[in-house]
Amino acid sequence: MATSETAGSSRTKRLNRTGLEMSSGHSRPSGPHFAISSATMHPLRFEPIIKRLIWGGHRLGSVLRKPIGEGSQYAESWELSDHRADISVVADGPLAGMTLRDLVRYRTEELLGPALAHLRQFPLLVKYIDAEQVLSVQVHPDDERGRRLADDNGKTETWVVIAAEPGSVIYAGLKRGVTRESFAAAIEAGEVEPLLHKIPARAGDCILIPAGVVHAIGAGVMLAEIQQMSDATFRVFDWNRIGTDGKPRQLHVAQALESTDFEIGPVDPIATCPEPIEGGTRERLSHTDYFSLERLRLSGPALIGRDDRFTILMALGGDVVVRTEDESCTLQLGETMLLPASVGPCRVEPLDGSATLMTCIVP
């Protein structure tokens, strides 16, 4: 069983070069897809997949400039996804309309790189999240339990806080000494919060949430999330909230108790230390078997990207121009770019004197 707490999703309309709307089907490219499938690889931007959930807000649009509509409840922007029906589509350039799934399938080594050419699915799901209300208390399974309990991958994730309203918090892990029995009793009694490790939410903080760690994003927090390609989530407590159908939302207590690692305990933000690099500084953020994150604060040009594996760029502050040997393109605040391995290192320059980027590779 897997849940994404989804109330609805939307895509930006995509057109091929003839002006006809294109399908994101899963079969081998044909027609317009086939005609452009051999185009030279270049830095790739994808159409955001917007998720409306009951706890979402409006800052995906007002701050990060995502294509949202009126009102609120715009909770997540899936920037890179190859998960079931949620498949990212190239937004512009000669490969516009191609799906991430097709690029992995038919342009494997060019996209992923020789070090990752054995993969058959894009390995990471990249999101921006805006929590106007607190999220449910939940836990994600590891790889074995993900396959067995949710027919999905496991889910280890990292959060990098972009903005946090005064007094907002993050729940990350259980307090020391909490056992399966005491946690189960707290769930039954509806008194889970006293057992949760609570930390202030501060812009810039990086928090690694391994599979098995109980957690919740507090109200007023907006963040970037890098995770395994999975949507396996088990909800254990939802603050007695009523869903859009007028009923309490479903819990997954048995699966959550089986998935929780009671040995980990509290989780705190990662301590970072800026290191000088060409064009600015680098901070090493989380490093796992699934992803390795760094934050770059640029005041001048820097080389970013590799030729043995892909690199993900997320613009967390300011705009930059990304230059290859043949072209240049702009990456704006709130946008995500995938640098295929075949592109190699790119020259990245802040447009207005300074910019903050997060980079991600698969180790």
Catalytic residues: 235
How far is residue 167's CA from residue 293's CA, in Å, rounded to a whole number? 27
* ∠ Cα 304 309 313 (to 5°): 40
Phi, psi of 34 (to 5 degrees): -65, -35
Give the single-character DSSP code of 149. H
Look at strands 311-317 and 49-57 and give their pairing: unpaired
Tokens for 213, please give them: 């760690």
Contact 270, 204 (CB under 8 A): no
How far is residue 347's CA from residue 355's CA, in Å, rounded to a whole number? 14
Strand ranges in 40-102 using DSSP code E only, listed in sequence order: 49-57, 74-80, 82-83, 86-87
| Surface-to-core class of residue 353, CB atoms within 10 Å of its CB (0-12 exposed, 13-18 middle, 19+ buried) | exposed
The SS3 assignment for 6 reads coil
Contact 221, 161 (CB under 8 A): yes
